Structure 1
């Protein structure tokens, strides 16, 4: 009997030896390839199953095997995990494993800790380690208190990190990236004559915007900070202007900052008259729009040339070669869908997501990946992605309303809305350009100064209209999606959707024209009875209350839920 038991034990040990010997050999090889974790997991599962079947614990110690040296074991514990032998079998503990990205770039974890301690509650710009000359200039133009997103972004960018800045429209994102850049380049930079003594003058920052209006707005912000004497150091390269004159200005003024639209920047770059290989900063403002198909070829060239030294290999649009150690990439958007995350990972190095009062690795956020194979799945994923970003892009001080009326009464409803809310500066949105002129005609017939703004107008006409609106000469600006992004009119206190936006993202960007920089504002959507369900859908996606209202005797009256249902049925 004892002989039979002994033979059985020897058979078990022989079988276990053969399995564990293969396991150890594989572990030894895979540990050198930094993928030990996966092999250990599967092999461990095999040993544990064998131990369970034979009703006895089976460990490396019980088989008489030990690691070759203690130093290798301690190194393995530090980078992969901690292996422990327990009664139930071999258990692999990975709770102390470090993130892979922290092993790929020296000091990345240290930088993350430093950024976590950034002064998110700074009350003055001088606490953000900006250039003294720049701080003095900020005081001259009346800027003293940084916004929340500026408090988070400025110190992060100053540490030479690639970032994605996400914050609601009108929260000060433009200055959030302009200030740390101007602290390093141009006449307002920090005084460091040794670093700049041998440096040849050239373009050091390229800022890309999806529209002419946004590009020109950024140029005005830079010019305001540089002052009249140095404003020639920023050059706009936007469509709609004479490219030859822009090329002449580049040669004559020798700017350090270029701001433009993708098409014009790529066009002049292709002629060899825009030298950006030695550029230090690449800023992609409203990056979610720059990723659209219309800009794909132009962005391909910009990404491949800006910040690329001579002799370095050109990059693909979204390939891993798009990462450039020579430049610092800054992306800005009110929303961060999956397309932005993918582009940031490809074009930047270990990018960080910067929000108001928070800085975190981009890989730490969860963004739904769009699915294109199944229509229903794609719809669900897209809706999740929209919900994820749109709510964060809404200014917090806005109030949201909607009213139901017939199509032929919409302009009259707009007039009564403006008077009831005593709005001084109003932007009314529509979806189609052809209807803008008719709305303006009806408003002017009722004694309200209004004008249209759309892409078919010339550059001079658009500039003139915007100037009149900002100066208060126009009360209502009637426009389409052109002005939903980049139009900065701080005095705008009312946004009216004469036609409902197509989704929550467009609603958020339209609404962001009012309530900028913490000011109060209202958003009123005017819809017909069959469109009421769209408002309810937007309300769920955005997570905000959009109250039904009506305008009676010059006042805004909030309707109760039961009254709302009754009003909708009556109009139907």
Structure 2
């Protein structure tokens, strides 16, 4: 199925409350996956979508879910109405934050709860008292909560599997099977996956009923006039390097992209303390505050705008000389979107990315997907240590999935014990 994006979100059948929120967040036009998925989800149909991270899929399933939940209240006080399963805690937090941002103007409050492993389960159990309209979860922690009778999924209306291929790659097949046994047979199913290996195809066959199939290819074109630079630096030296570059390079203005709202606030505070005029832009700010920050930045009343991806969508600043990826984006598509803030309308621009030991492999993936390889630089006085931090070497490669061990974990333990016995 393919279709051209309409001029606005209005034609997709979304409510005026959601449309006003999209306008506030700077969403000007729906992406192809949103154009194709939103009307189908609103009708209650199943969807299977091949869509890379960064293609707009979170809004593609969140907006129609929010509209359905807000316009069709339920009498059940303990019902989880929609479950969004994701592979990692980072994605769980990001999806939860996005859904809350989209829901901010709805006339009736929609309760969104995010749960994941690697942290204490007790606060999450408390947050689920009275249940939740939308629950965003990693599979292992969801099963832990179900074992403790902290959550009931018997009245679930919609299941979303986000990044299904990554879930299977990371060893969640057994957990997924266990979760599915907790759900009612009659429900809407929405499956999003960047690739469709055999495991995902099997899920599709078993889960979905006459699904609408969507395939989206993300454009990765980078303007030639944008000079890309990759600077190697230790993670704890990034702020010092940022301050140094801002003072030495003489940029009139710069947008600094940071992964989280807390990170945005911290970087903004540290720059301000160093005498560099900076303001924050993220989803927790009011619409008035966001508009004022953007207007003042365009008017050159301060030099540095520190922003998250969610708040930065739709930013159009004429003659912006530089953007900095303080944190790398999650996807190649987001990388292209970020650096496209500079070098607009034929103007030249610079896009810097800080590469520490932890995100080295991720930047190589971005290079591979955007079909380029950038030379690594170092700035004198801020050289990256040749050795990765000990905590990074000890860090598990997969996500923390709660108390349950995956099949891969069990096989590794068995192999280790066998080796010790020799």
How many residue pairs end up in the alignment?
A: 307
| Corresponding position of 2:54 | 170
Q: Distance in 2 between matches of 1:173 and 1:270?
A: 31
Contact 1:494 1:514 in 2 (8 A): no
Displacement of 1:145 in angstroms is: 2.1
Larger RCO (CA within 8 A; separation ≥ 6): 2
| Corresponding position of 1:350 | 210
Q: Distance in 1 between matches of 2:332 and 2:366?
A: 12
Matching of residue 299 in structure 1 with residue 120 in structure 2: no
| Corresponding position of 1:247 | 125
Secondary structure of the equivalent of 2:335? coil
Matching of residue 546 in structure 1 with residue 406 in structure 2: no
| Corresponding position of 1:235 | 113
**Cα distance, 1:238–1:164 mapped onto 2, change above 3 Å:** same
| Corresponding position of 1:126 | 10
- The superposition leaves residues 431-487 of structure 1 with CA deviations (integer Å, 9 ceiling, x where unpaired) of xxxxx8x564498479659xxxxxxxxxxx98744654699969xxxxxxxxxxx98
Contact 2:3 2:32 in 1 (8 A): no
| Corresponding position of 1:398 | 222
Contact 2:223 2:340 in 1 (8 A): no
Q: Which residue of 317, 331, 337 maps to 1:516?
A: 337
Q: Distance in 2 between matches of 1:473 and 1:335?
A: 41
Contact 2:63 2:102 in 1 (8 A): no
| Corresponding position of 1:483 | none
Q: Distance in 1 between matches of 2:59 and 2:167?
A: 20
Equivalent residues in 2 for 1:433-512, closer than 5 Å: 438=234, 440-441=236-237, 444=240, 448=244, 464-465=262-263, 468=266, 490=312, 510-512=331-333
| Corresponding position of 1:341 | 201
Structure whose CA Rg is larger: 1
Displacement of 1:259 in angstroms is: 0.9
Unmatched 5+ stretches in structure 2: 246-258, 273-307, 314-321, 343-350, 356-363, 379-422
Secondary structure of the equivalent of 1:515? helix
Secondary structure of the equivalent of 2:192? strand
Secondary structure of the equivalent of 2:214? strand
**Structure with the bigger percentage of helix:** 1
Q: RMSD value over aligned CA atoms?
A: 4.6
Matching of residue 221 in structure 1 with residue 45 in structure 2: no
Unmatched 5+ stretches in structure 1: 1-115, 309-323, 357-391, 401-419, 430-435, 450-460, 475-485, 499-507, 527-534, 553-572
TM-score, normalising length: structure 1: 0.44
